Amino acid sequence: MNEKSSDVLIVGSGIVGMATLMTLEKYAIKTSLLTHSKNIKNNLPDPRFYAVTPGVKNWLEENGVCNFLAKDLMSPVNKILVYSNKENSALSFDAYDAGMSELAFIINHDDLEKAFMNRISKISYDEIKIDGAESLNIEMDHVDLVNEKGQKYQFKLIIGADGSDSWVRRESGIEVKSKTFNQTALVFNIKSSKTHQGCAFQKFMQDGILALLPIQTHEYSVVYSLNDNIVDEYKKLDDLAFLMRLKKNLGEKFGDIDLLSKRQYFPLSMKINESLISERVILMGDAAHQVHPLAGQGLNLGLRDVIEFDALLNSHQNYHHDLGLKQFIKKYNRNRKTDILSLSYLTDQLSHIFYSQSRIMNFVINLGFNKINQNHLIKKILIEKAAQ
């Protein structure tokens, strides 16, 4: 049985995995990245757009990712309008009111992923390509990874950044609580006859949540979180009928609209881990948490995992010889839990509240929107929290 070793193994070569690789390279920690040799590349463009917070964007700039992004690929958001069809209540967040330049930056998944790939091409690391992994065997002072051919690899720490159906999470015995929202995300792009002027929109309706992220001058990336009981109805609509339904839901605010892309559907669920760590294992990104997209914080939450990991590496260099030590990984778990749990709870409760049919709840929503909208201090605190 052949044996190869490194200090850290990252399982998962997506954006969060690549960000973690960049972080470890800064501290000259020998790292391996696990990829599957039989990966089938999907050449179709990814329809997802991310609303990157100013705090995350600063980290991307400091770590050289933005050097591989043309400025016009990141569309600034300077205002967010949140409203519902319940008593026409509305809540607006303006960057200027909070003393900020922008509230967020919108970027396409493929553009951001390509920038990360270009960035890690400039650094040194070991790439492990395997068809499959048989086991993850945790010992007192190391972890063994054994592939399907019986080849053994040895590491001091395993970082699972391998998505919501994480193999690392299962192998390490970390329990996860799942909740289905009974919703499906419908993702597509539109062009509006009216310019968006850097404003993002989110509309809460009885049938779901419409989120519109500004990209080009007249274009939006749209995520429509539909209740599952009407998904089949939407799937049966041709483009013309779908546009008519969409215009009715949006109202006159956007003028005439055209569909720019195919509609794609993604089931929605929430996953919260009992812990982010196990013996010599750390989880990051969707392997560690999965939240409702209504807050647009999924990728930000994953990259904040990496940012916290970066901060710990910087302030605890005495652990660099063995990052799998309990004292180190427990600090990561403790420092990340509050951010993850608070955002998970917030998105879960908001999705529940806005689908309530109660007249009392409708009154509370309307009153809450109006009260918050009139209180500049509360709005400023909310904006600063969301901008991290």
Q: Is the pLDDT of residue 363 over 80?
A: no
The dihedral through the CA atoms of 292, 297, 300, 306 has a sign that is: negative
**Which top CATH class is 74-111+181-268+358-386?**
alpha beta
* pLDDT computed for residue 9 by the predictor: 96
Q: What average pLDDT does the segment 240-245 reach?
A: 94
* Band (128; pLDDT cuts 50, 70, 90): confident
* pLDDT computed for residue 202 by the predictor: 85
Query: What spatial distance separates the first Cα and last Cα of the chain, rounded to whole Å?
Result: 47
* pLDDT computed for residue 242 by the predictor: 95
Cα angle 250, 251, 256 (rounded to 5 degrees) comes to 85
- Taking only the tens place, the pLDDT of each residue in 23-79 is 999 999 999 999 875 555 556 778 789 999 999 999 999 999 999 999 889 999 998
Q: What are phi and psi of 174, to 5 degrees?
A: -80, 125
- Taking only the tens place, the pLDDT of each residue in 245-295 is 999 988 888 999 999 999 999 888 778 788 999 999 999 999 998 876 655
* pLDDT computed for residue 273 by the predictor: 83
Q: What average pLDDT does the segment 179-188 reach?
A: 84
* pLDDT computed for residue 358 by the predictor: 43
On average, the pLDDT of the chain sits at 83
Q: Is the pLDDT of residue 385 over 70?
A: no
Cα angle 241, 254, 385 (rounded to 5 degrees) comes to 115
pTM above 0.85, yes or no: yes
The fraction of the chain above a pLDDT of 90, given in percent, is 49
* pLDDT computed for residue 38 by the predictor: 56
Instruction: Name the more confident of 184 and 362.
Output: 184
Topology of the domain covering 3-49+123-177+270-350: FAD/NAD(P)-binding domain (3.50.50)
Q: What average pLDDT does the segment 182-191 reach?
A: 91
Q: What average pLDDT does the segment 177-183 reach?
A: 78
DSSP 3-state of 136:
strand
Q: What are phi and psi of 357, to 5 degrees?
A: -95, 0
* pLDDT computed for residue 311 by the predictor: 97
Question: Which of 64-68, 163-167, 380-384 has the lowest average pLDDT?
Answer: 380-384
Which of 288, 337, 26 lies closest to 172, judged by CA?
288
Task: Please list the alpha-helical segments (H only) found in 252-325.
Answer: 298-315
* Band (333; pLDDT cuts 50, 70, 90): very high
* Band (177; pLDDT cuts 50, 70, 90): confident
Give me the residue label for tokens 């990051």: 284
Task: Please list the alpha-helical segments (H only) found in the chain.
Answer: 15-26, 54-62, 109-120, 167-171, 231-235, 239-250, 298-315, 326-354, 359-374, 376-386
Q: What average pLDDT does the segment 205-225 reach?
A: 88
Give the residue extent of every domain in the chain. 3-49+123-177+270-350, 74-111+181-268+358-386
* pLDDT computed for residue 114 by the predictor: 96
